[in-house]
Each structure stands twice: as structure tokens, then as C-alpha cells.
Amino acid sequence: IELLLDSEFTENTQLADGTNVEIHLNAGLSADTGIAINHGVDGVGLYRTEIPFLMQSSFPSEDDQSLLYQSILEAYRGQPVVMRSLDIGGDKPLPYLTIEEDNPFLGWRGIRFTLDHPDIFLIQIRAMLRASIGLDNLAILLPMVSGLNELLDAKILIDRAFEEVMEMAEAEGKTLNRPHIGVMVEVPSILYQLDAVAKHADFISVGTNDLTQYLLAVDRNNVRVSDVYDSLHPSVIAALQNILQTCQRNKLPVCVCGELAGDPLGAMLLVGMGYRQLSMNTRSVARIKYVLRHLSVKSLEKHINTISRLPLASEIRTESETFLKLHN
């Protein structure tokens, strides 16, 4: 308890040179809001809505969803909460919806599934919007987007839900602001469409778990190939640098919400590249804050220069471990 209440873990995260790095939370259960350490963050960077869906025996109703989402938005009142639309399929099959496919990770998951089921998508978006009335801290994130067309199609549905909920809010004398809409960067094809995406999205969130899986063509849950699954692979590092540069050029806010952001070596690399928003699980928050507070942008940039020249993931890991030991 003492550790959790220590101001070290509840204050903003500044590097040794005063540079601010926003630490957001990856959440997926309402229970997350009861943990003290979760209130020392700058907001919720990823609320995985599929988790409450997975714990039910049938699709939750709009009212039930709205109540749940409201409890999260209220718990983080005044801070941004990024709610991701349903990302089922792949490694997250719903017990009450059988999808049989040879390649679930390449199949009907994320935005592909919800665009084919606009009823499910509209109910969820309406529930989110209803929950945000009077709070206005909601942002909506779209998973598994592989092309601009999916973002445009989703935005048409979000607009429709917004008009409906706004009418409802106005009838009750309340107001509703348009939420920011973001795109997950986790399917490699979207890397080459980021300039176009920037014209239609308000922010992006990099999902390094799936980005690693799809860039290296390696199943993220298959132990036989777990040595191939490595987010420190030079190609993943190059992709992450490229994403940041494109976002900076387009003035598009960007957060990293994959596991890499909650790993000390990963967080160091990301901040060294120039990322200033990281989102991670509860168990990583204190550790990452601690690690970052001992580092400066200058030393991290030097570290990035060194590892950018290394062609092997094993060399990048060893070099990063040495750097971490030296500075912490």
C-alpha cells in the first residue's frame, strides 16, 4: 500500500531533463478503476471493450454497455479515455458466437467483423456516446484497420450513432461533443496509408503486439515460434521509427499501446525515438515511471543511434540491457 501511495508513483512522469512522457493505462475490466496506482496515470490509452463481452453468456445490451462505459469514464473524469470498438476474433473468440476459420488471425476480426455487423457496432458506439454525455472524455479507437476504406466506413456509422445520441441528449437539455476518432496501427498495410489516414483520424495508437505478429508473419501465441516473435526485431524498430516520423509530419497525435510500451527496454527505445505517450498494463506503470525518470532525451537519442545500426534483434537486446543497467 505504501508503495502504491508513494508520490513517486502518482505524479507525472518526467525524464531526468524535465521532458514529460504521458503514461496511460491499458484496461479492460471495471475493477481496474479500484486500483490506486491506476490513478497516477494521464488517462486510459486503451480500454479493451471485448473483455466484458468475453465474460458474458450473450451480447450485452446497449443499456448494460452504457452503464459499464460510464463507470470507466467517470472514474477517469477529466482525463482522456480511449475506448476501442470490439476486437473479437483471432485470439479472442466470443463463447456465444462461433466463427470457424482456417486462419483466425487473418480472418474475421476487429473492424472487419463489426463493419459486417453494423447493428453490433452501432449499439456499442451509441452506448459509448450515451455514457460520455456530461463527461466528454471519450475517444473511440478502431482495431485492425487495414485500409482507409474501413476508417471511412466506420466514420459513417459513428456519425449516425452520434446524430441519434445527440438528439436524445438535446431532448434532455444536455450537450454532447464529438469524440476524437483514432486508428490502431497494427496491420502493416496501414503504415503505407498513414498520410491518408491522418486526414480523417484524430489520433493513432500503435499496437506493437499485432504489428510484430503481422510484420514478422509469426503467431503471437504459438510457443514453437516464440523465439521468432520479437518486438526488438530491427524491422519492427524501423517500422516504429517510420510511424513516428509520419505522425510528426502530419501533426497526428500518437500513442503506443502494445506490450512493448510496458517493457523497460521497449519504453526506452520508444521515448528515444520521440514517442511521448505510452499506454500499458497496471503492473508496468510504476516500473516504467521509475526507469524513465533516470534517463534523458539526449542519452536515449544516442542509444537509438547506436541500436539503429545493429542488424540483429539479439544485439539490440544486449545493447539495450547494458544501457539500462548503466543508467538505472
Where do contacts with ligand PEP occur on this chain (CB under 6 A)? 46, 48, 87, 186, 207-210, 257-258
Give the nearest distance from C-beta 164 to Mg ion in angstroms.
Answer: 29
Cα gap 269→175, rounded to integer Å: 42
Residue type, 159: D
Q: Check binding of 262 to Mg ion (CB under 5 A).
A: no
Range list of H helices, 46-104: 50-54, 62-75
Give the nearest distance from C-beta 315 to Mg ion in angstroms.
Answer: 27
Span interacting with Mg ion, options 21-29, 165-173, 201-209, 241-249, rule CB under 5 A? 201-209
The CB-based long-range contact list for 113-120 (8 Å cut-off, 24+ gap) reads: 113/86, 113/88, 113/89, 114/85, 114/86, 114/154, 115/150, 115/153, 115/154, 115/157, 118/157, 120/59, 120/86
Give the nearest distance from C-beta 66 to ligand PEP in angstroms.
Answer: 22
Q: What residue number has its CB nearest to ligand PEP?
A: 207
Q: Which of residues 157-196 bind Mg ion (CB under 5 A)?
A: 186
Partner whose footprint covers residue 257, from Mg ion, ligand PEP, none (CB < 5 to 8 Å by kind)? ligand PEP
Give the nearest distance from C-beta 50 to Mg ion in angstroms.
Answer: 10
Phi/psi of residue 45, nearest 5 degrees: -85, -25
Partner whose footprint covers residue 42, from ligand PEP, Mg ion, none (CB < 5 to 8 Å by kind)? none
Nearer to ligand PEP, 30 or 209 (CB): 209
Nearer to ligand PEP, 42 or 210 (CB): 210
Identify the residue whose cell numbers are 538505472. Answer: 328
Partner whose footprint covers residue 48, from Mg ion, ligand PEP, none (CB < 5 to 8 Å by kind)? ligand PEP
Q: Quick one: CA dihedral 131, 252, 283, 48, positive or negative?
A: positive
- What b/e readout covers 13-25, taking b as 16+ CB neighbours within 10 angstroms? bebeeebebbbbb
Closest CA to 303 of 267, 249, 276, 260: 267
Q: Which of residues 207-226 bind Mg ion (CB under 5 A)?
A: 207, 210
Give the nearest distance from C-beta 208 to ligand PEP in angstroms.
Answer: 5
Give the nearest distance from C-beta 257 to ligand PEP in angstroms.
Answer: 5
Q: At 125, list the grid cell.
A: 458506439
C-beta of residue 139 within 8 angstroms of C-beta of residue 180: yes
Footprint of Mg ion on this chain (CB under 5 A)? 186, 207, 210
